[in-house]
Amino acid sequence: MKKWLTFSLALLLTIGLFGCSGESSGGSDDSSGDSGDDEVVLGIALPSATHGWMGALIQNAEEKAQELVDNGTIDDYEFTTAENPADQANNVDDLIAQGVDAIVMLPIESEALSPAGQKIADEGIPLVVVDRELTNDAADVLVKGDNTGIGENAGEYFVEQLNGSGKVVEIAGPSNSVTQQRSDGFRQAIEGSDIEIIASQSGEFSKETSLQVMENILTAQPEIDAVYTQDDGMALGVIQAIKEAGREDIQFVTGAAGSKEVYENIKEDGLISATFLYSPLMVRDGVEVGASLANGEEPESSEVILEATPVTKENVDEHYDPDSVF
């Protein structure tokens, strides 16, 4: 009798243990499915900034990503910013390791971040590049403003305003595709005229750097008719240098982007007489495209290019928003 009771208890215990083990395994599988295996996560890798064009772009990128989470398009996003190309490449490595479903990247430098773009492509992760192009074909979709169009429209404006003849200065950006295209477009547009580029230096898309660079150019060049800058912030640095030097020979300065401060200068008949649209809102398109790729959708196009509309005294009121963050 004791042997039978002992056997029965052992059998019940064994059955109970197997039953609990099977239930736990099933619960674990269900739990694993609920905890994120099927989540759609978008990775975002941007340069760091707190103000200006890039600051506005960063703000718009995060706002758009959160909107997509709120409306259920994606489940989550991983947002990274970096001070330099090496840090941005490390951020990309982290996003790949986290297994994000797509990545939106604005390369700090085109050439330096091209290997990171290729690594993303090699991992089979869809890639959307915003603003600055890579030197390879790793990106599935490129979202950018019309950089060549900015240069062309600026060049045409210079030819018209200077009646086809004059000495001009170019304040360019850092070494990347944006700078090259804006320079090429400008040169193509003034070709055949008597407009001469007497100095071309990088202002690094920085108001402070452009101020210093323009101070040196003003010292070296006694006669300048106009200045083509590739960025609104740089245009503001340039006009500060001109005012501080007391130079009155320079007829006008142009920018690029469409910032509130430059619009105000145009409205007030300041030294900046024109800018050409290159809105930081483009990143919202990039994030939206990235979310669609993360969900397995095919891109409608490999390029999204936004128009480089000229903004002058005649149409500035159509674009000026006093409440704009940029």
pLDDT computed for residue 37 by the predictor: 61
In this predicted structure, the answer to whether residue 12 has a pLDDT above a threshold of 90 is no
DSSP structure class, residue 221 = -
pTM over cut 0.85: no
Distance CA 182, CA 48 (A): 23
In this predicted structure, the answer to whether residue 10 has a pLDDT above a threshold of 50 is no
272 has which bridge partners? 253
Residue 111 CB neighbours (<10 A)? 14
Q: Residues 117, 127: contact at Cβ < 8 Å?
A: yes
Report which of 17, 43, 98 is spatially closest to residue 286, judged by C-alpha positions.
Answer: 43
Q: Residues 169, 224: contact at Cβ < 8 Å?
A: yes
Distance CA 242, CA 313 (A): 21
pLDDT digits (tens, 9 = 90+) for 93-150: 999 999 999 999 999 999 999 999 999 999 999 999 999 899 999 999 999 999 999 9
Report which of 217, 215, 209 is spatially closest to residue 233, judged by C-alpha positions.
Answer: 209
Q: Residues 166, 190: contact at Cβ < 8 Å?
A: no
Report which of 110, 138, 108, 107 is spatially closest to residue 125, judged by C-alpha positions.
Answer: 138
Q: How many secondary structure helices (H) and strands (E) does the chain include?
A: 11, 12
Two domains, one topology: 41-144+280-306 and 147-279+313-319: yes
pLDDT computed for residue 316 by the predictor: 97
Distance CA 207, CA 51 (A): 12
- Rounded to a whole number of angstroms, the CA Rg of the chain reads 28
Distance CA 149, CA 182 (A): 7
pLDDT computed for residue 57 by the predictor: 93
pLDDT digits (tens, 9 = 90+) for 51-105: 788 889 999 999 999 999 999 999 999 999 999 999 999 999 999 999 999 999 9
Q: Which helix (H) or strand (E) holds 195?
A: strand 194-202
Distance CA 215, CA 237 (A): 10
Q: Which CATH architecture has domain 147-279+313-319?
A: 3-Layer(aba) Sandwich (3.40)
Spans of all domains in the chain = 41-144+280-306, 147-279+313-319
Distance CA 128, CA 282 (A): 12
Report which of 214, 212, 205 is spatially closest to residue 109, judged by C-alpha positions.
Answer: 205
Report strand pairing: 41-47 vs 102-105: parallel
CATH no., domain 41-144+280-306: 3.40.50.2300
Q: Which helix (H) or strand (E) holds 223?
A: none
Residue 38 CB neighbours (<10 A)? 8
